[in-house]
Structure 1
Amino acid sequence: MKTYVALLHSIVLGEGRRVVMTELREMAERLGYRMPRTLVATGNLVFEASEKPLAEVETELEKVFAATFGRHVDIIARTAEGWLKLADGNPFLAEGEKDPASVHVRVMRLPLVPDAREKLHRYCSRGERVSIVDGDLWVDFGGKASDSKLGGALTTQRLGVGTLRNWNTVKGLRAMVVG
């Protein structure tokens, strides 16, 4: 068995309807995944399953999600080892420890190309910093992410399939996978 982390791009199903984490865990159990557990109510799922390619895990989860909730949502999966590597690669660790809500990572399905960083610089109008580590985009917003023009540029259309998590969530998932 292998431990996986799965991140839903959105838990909003429509007006007034959100994915409830108990429903998400039940969905994972229907796939035969073991010990599904969630971190906060934002679409973070950790579970055990037979070892298989990440693309297969993502496809399985996306198909059963659409069947269960009636809507497609992009889901990004990582192995526990991959998640630990991601967490250990935070280039803005000191800033994240001071203000965990100001440091985010956009976890990507496919690695970002190196020039993506340069294309985002024009949106960094408040001293935001970006770094690509192993294909994922780390951002130090230097304050509230919602106050930054950069947040609006971190779209699937611009960067490809991915989803943002703040440093607190990254650490929380790290703690879940190490047990």
Structure 2
Amino acid sequence: MQTYVALLYSIILGEGRRVVMSDLKAMAEGLGLKNVRTLVATGNLVFEARTAKISDLEQRLEKAFEERFGRHVDILVRGAEDWLNLAAGNPFPAESADTGDQVAVRVMRQPVGADAIPALQARAAEDEKVLLVGGDIWLVFSRERPSSRLLAAANHKRFGIGTSRNWNTVRRLAEMIGSRQ
């Protein structure tokens, strides 16, 4: 058995409807996934399954989600070792220690090329940062500005399928799977 992390792009089903994590957990268990756990109410799953291709797990989860909740949602899966490497590769440790909710990573289904980063850096405010690590986009958002142009710029249309998680969530998911290895 291998441990995996799954990240939902969205848990909003429509006007006033959100996915409840207990329903998401039940959906995953219905697929035969083992030791399914959720983290906060934003669509984070940790589970165990027989070793499989990541793309196969993503397709199974997306299909089950659409059948259960009536809407397609992109779901990104990473193996435990890949997730631990992602967390260990955080290029902003000082910022993460101070303001973990302002540091985020856009986890990508397909790695982003380095040529995409200058366009994001051009949208960053003076106190914001952008780096590419292993094909995923790391961001430090401004504490001074309530809204950032970076989040809107790092979207599906520009970079492909991905979803963002703040450092606090990345770290807690790593802690959840770190004890299982």
Q: Same fold (TM over 0.5)?
A: yes
Match in the other structure for 1:133: 133
Q: Tell me what 1:47 maps to.
A: 47
Counterpart residue number, 1:112: 112
1:23-51 residue CA offsets vs partner (Å, 9 max, x unmatched): 00000011100011000000000000000
Counterpart of 1:32 in structure 2 is: 32
C-alpha deviation, 1:152, in angstroms:
1.1
TM-score, normalised via structure 2 length: 0.96
Give the Cα separation in 2 of the matches to 1:117 and 1:50: 36
Coordinate RMSD, CA, aligned: 1.1
Q: Return the alpha-carbon distance in structure 2 between the equivalents of residues 160 and 75 of structure 1.
A: 13
State whether residues 145 and 151 of structure 1, in contact with CA within 8 Å, keep that contact through their aligned partners in structure 2: no
Unaligned runs of 5+ in 2: none
Q: What is the one-letter code of the residue matched to 1:67?
A: E
1:56 paired to 2:56: yes
Q: 1:146 to 1:2 in 2, by over 3 A?
A: farther
Deviation at 1:144, TM superposition (A): 6.5
Structure 1 residues 84 and 145: alpha-carbon distance in aligned structure 2, compared to 1, 3 A threshold: farther
1:1-179 matches, within 5 Å, as 1-143=1-143, 146-179=146-179
Q: 125-134 or 10-19, which moves further after superposition?
A: 125-134
SS at match of 2:10: coil
How many residue pairs get aligned? The number is: 179
Deviation at 1:127, TM superposition (A): 2.6
Matched residues in 2 for 1:20 and 1:145: separation? 31
CA distance in 1, matches of 2:126, 2:92: 16
Are the structure 2 counterparts of residues 63 and 144 from structure 1 closer, same or farther at C-alpha, using a change threshold of 3 Å? farther
* Equivalent position amino acid for 2:27 in 1: M
Q: Which moved more, 1:103-112 or 1:136-145?
A: 136-145
CA contact (8 A) 1:102 1:144 kept: no
Contact 2:2 2:49 in 1 (8 A): yes
SS in 1 for 2:101: helix
Partner SS state of residue 51, structure 1: coil
Asked if 1 retains the 8 angstrom alpha-carbon contact of 2:125 and 2:142, the reply is no
Rounded to whole Å, the distance in 2 between the matches of 1:39 and 1:95 is 22
Partner amino acid, structure 1, of 2:56: E
The aligned amino acid for 1:19 is V
The separation in 1 between residues aligned to 2:118 and 2:126, in whole angstroms, is 16
The 3 A distance-change label for structure 1 pair 128 and 170 is same
Normalization by structure 1: what TM-score? 0.97
Percent pairwise identity: 53
